Amino acid sequence: MSSSDEAAPRPVDRPLIVQSDGTLLLEVAGEAAAAARDALCAFAHLERSPEYIHTYRMTSLSLWNAAASGVTLEWIEGALDRYSRYPVPQLVRQRLAEQFQRFGKTRLVPRDPDHLWLEVDDPDVRLELSQSEDVRPFWTDTDQHRFVVRAGHRGALKQALVRLGYPAEDLCGYVEGQALSHSLRDRTASGLPFGLRPYQVDAVAAFHAGGGPRGGAGVVVLPCGAGKTVIGLGVMARLCASTLILSTNTVAVHQWRDEILDKTDLDPGLIGEYTGEAKQIRPVTLTTYQMLTHRSSVDVEFPHLDLMRRSEWGLIIYDEVHMLPAPVFRATAEIQVRRRLGLTATLVREDGREGDVFALIGPKRYDLPWKILEHKGYIAEATCFEVRLELPDDQRVRYALAPRRDKFRIAAENPRKVHLVEELIENNPEESILVIGQYIDQLEAVARHLGLPVITGKTPTSVRERLYDDFRKGRARILVVSKVANFAIDLPDASLAIQISGTFGSRQEEAQRLGRLLRPKARASRFFSLVSRNTTEQEFAARRQLFLVEQGYRYRIVDWAEQGRLEPVATGASRGAV
């Protein structure tokens, strides 16, 4: 948002065209394009990204997130005026104001220990909510411009209000939880100097918001490698309260524990692990989403979810919050009295439940464009390549005759990818390389052909941790990994990733996989995505790349010839140049 302070570009350099239907067209080649993109990221979503013009749209959720994070309507209008080549249509201004101002038309404030007030100043909105089948179950009485709501319905009501288009500003505050006095170290346990980076300090402050009712719940969005775990530790030290930390897998749980011991003065005896390997509930307890959602059959309740409800947590941290499973959403709806911090590289959810993250965890409190962090040296410079290769003749026939639901996997498992992986590895003998894919058979075939270790969901935790440690310490230069390595795995020396298959058009997965390479290092990182040409995989690849293109990354399209060598495609084939 710092770009708003820059001098307005000359009219000829204004790269944005705001159309009357609300479409925002950004020409990506101009000098002001990067600054305009950074501004748009604060309040709009990227929809399409061909070579020269990117399409953005202001959605209800993007505007509500902006409002909740402190962006003003005047700032948004100023950014549009600053970068728009032509006058912003009045209709767009009206729609923008209407949607933006919906945030805060409803407010939740405390009444007594068992009830809340839902305040609604606008009489038309109040009448609409009084008649709504989605809201009526949650209120028991009315008092002038307010509804009486049971405290236990706080989360479910917020979900309903988001669906109706009147997101509530939650001013009810939170319980303090069990006190847990501790602080961050000035030096790590290993003796290295330690302190929060400036943007990490800002993120902690934005989440805490001075301890008032407008803070204490929300999401911090930063790329992998930017130190989101450290921000979590900073919030813990600010609150000094018992904390439940939810993560994606047991390896991530162990990494959280290591970071807590390394960078805080908490005694090891105060930290508990609640996984399949141990069942310890302590003032700081670390568990996994898989553990919380485990049950013996579909006919029984989730026995471990009660962990979230029964202890006096002052803070719950949701690592990789975009991965929240539905049962955890439901439990979170019931415990809105706890402070909640979500950490993620992207709020994109392929199931479209970003609104539930907004309602139940909280709004986006802080983010920073990836390229700004790269320019400041906080994350590694990275270059992205889409390498296209042909299907073999026999596979082309199979692909042509296959039902559409089978075409993607046939293209993704193109057997020529094995030889392309081999060439990339041979051409980069000094790099620490991750080969990442979706399909286990494919990964195991690559590992067998090249004699490499492979990590999948079937790999025991102890073996995973040993292989990760070998990679970190240079005893293994190459790892083949499935989607279990997409999230919360710290491999700081990884400098080259080869993606051989993915989860259809998942933008969040593309971002997470690039994130494996973004720990700061002396040399630039490279991300290769291998794609079968003229197949559904190529179509899905374009969708996967959208989020990273929005962040300013550029995919260079490269051809792999049949004789087995990489050849650049003609100039201008790059996607997303800014």
Which segments of 306-390 are extended strands (E)?
A: 315-319, 339-344, 364-367, 382-389
Which residue type occupies 509? E
CB atoms within 10 A of CB 321: 23
Residue 50 has what pLDDT?
67
Residue 552 has what pLDDT?
79
Dihedral in degrees, nearest 10, Cα atoms 20, 22, 23, 29: 80
Residue 388 has what pLDDT?
94
What count of Cα atoms within 13 Å lies in the side-chain half-sphere of residue 320? 24
Three-state DSSP class for residue 108 = strand
Separation CA 512–CA 522 (nearest Å): 21
Residue 565 has what pLDDT?
61
Residue 328 has pLDDT above 90, yes or no: no
Separation CA 287–CA 408 (nearest Å): 35
145-164 confidence digits (pLDDT tens)? 899 999 989 999 999 999 99
- Per the model's pLDDT, the better-predicted residue between 396 and 485 turns out to be 396
Domain boundaries, the chain: 2-100, 107-166, 198-368, 374-568
Separation CA 43–CA 430 (nearest Å): 41
Give the mean model confidence (pLDDT) for residues 181-191. Answer: 92
Residue 341 has pLDDT above 70, yes or no: yes
192-232 confidence digits (pLDDT tens)? 999 999 999 999 999 998 888 888 999 999 988 899 999 99
Cβ pair 548, 574 in contact under 8 A: no
What pTM value is reported for the model?
Answer: 0.85
Separation CA 399–CA 393 (nearest Å): 10
Nearest to 438 by CA among 535, 530, 515, 549: 530
Residue 2 has pLDDT above 70, yes or no: no
CATH superfamily, domain at 374-568: P-loop containing nucleotide triphosphate hydrolases (3.40.50.300)
Tell me the average pLDDT of the chain.
88
Cβ pair 548, 514 in contact under 8 A: yes
Helices (runs of H) and strands (runs of E) counted in the chain: 22, 24
Cα 14–15–21 angle (5° rounding)? 110
Residue 1 has pLDDT above 50, yes or no: no
Residue 538 has pLDDT above 90, yes or no: yes
User: Looking at 37-46, 72-81, 348-357, which range is the least confident one?
Assistant: 348-357
- Per the model's pLDDT, the better-predicted residue between 487 and 562 turns out to be 487
Output the 3-class SS for 151-165: HHHHHHHHHHHHHHC
Cβ pair 201, 230 in contact under 8 A: no
Give the mean model confidence (pLDDT) for residues 132-142. Answer: 87
Residue 206 has what pLDDT?
92
Cβ pair 297, 290 in contact under 8 A: no
Per DSSP, the residues of 178-191 read: SB----B-SB-TTS
- Burial string for 513-530 (b: 16+ CB within 10 Å, else e) reads bbbbbbbebeeebbbbbb
Give the mean model confidence (pLDDT) for residues 422-428. Answer: 93
Q: Given the structure tokens 């979500």, which residue do they identify?
A: 342
Separation CA 559–CA 545 (nearest Å): 18
Give the mean model confidence (pLDDT) for residues 22-29. Answer: 90
Residue 351 has what pLDDT?
76
Alpha helix (H) ranges present in 193-305? Answer: 198-208, 228-239, 250-263, 289-292
Residue 522 has what pLDDT?
79
Nearest to 496 by CA among 399, 426, 413: 426
Three-state DSSP class for residue 118 = strand
- Assigned token pair, 359: 């309602």
Which residues neighbour 501 within 8 Å (Cβ) at sequence distance 6 or greater? 412, 413, 437, 438, 439, 442
Report CA Rg, the chain.
Answer: 25
- Assigned token pair, 164: 């109706």
Give the mean model confidence (pLDDT) for residues 288-292. Answer: 90
- Assigned token pair, 251: 């390896």
Check if 198-368 and 374-568 are the same fold. Answer: yes
The percentage of residues in the chain with a pLDDT greater than 90, rounded to a whole number, is: 56
503-520 confidence digits (pLDDT tens)? 877 888 888 888 888 888
Q: Domain 198-368 belongs to what architecture?
A: 3-Layer(aba) Sandwich (3.40)
